[in-house]
Amino acid sequence: MFRTFLVEFLLPLLLFLLVRNMIRGFLAGSQPRRAMQRPQTPPVPLGGELKKDPVCGTYVSMATAIKETVKGEAVYFCSKECREKYRQS
């Protein structure tokens, strides 16, 4: 009984799964996987000087900060919201 089950059902099932996985692996190797591709993000320069946002106190890189000149002095903000709060005060 067990031998019949093994030979007629389990062995063909395992063989089918093995062949299917081999075919998938072969086909996946020739095509780029979408799940493996990362979205392209703009490069952010590493390092550089940090400036303190006058509204929230966050230190932000000069390369990524929102810069505004106020009374001849450069002021750096972490976001547009902080810049707007500064303008209103």
Which of the pair, 59 or 1, is modelled with greater confidence? 59
pTM above 0.85, yes or no: no
Least confident stretch, 26-30, 42-46, 48-52, 77-81: 42-46
pLDDT on residue 18: 93
pLDDT tier at 31, thresholds 50, 70, 90 = low
Report the SS3 class of residue 31. coil
What is the CA 51 to chain-centroid distance, rounded? 26
User: What distance in Å separates the CA atoms of residue 77 and residue 55, rounded to the nearest whole number?
Assistant: 8
85 class by beta-carbon count within 10 Å (0-12 exposed, 13-18 middle, 19+ buried): middle
Report the SS3 class of residue 43. coil
pLDDT tens sequence across 42-58: 676 666 789 999 999 99
Which of the pair, 39 or 36, is modelled with greater confidence? 39
37 pLDDT exceeds 90? Answer: no
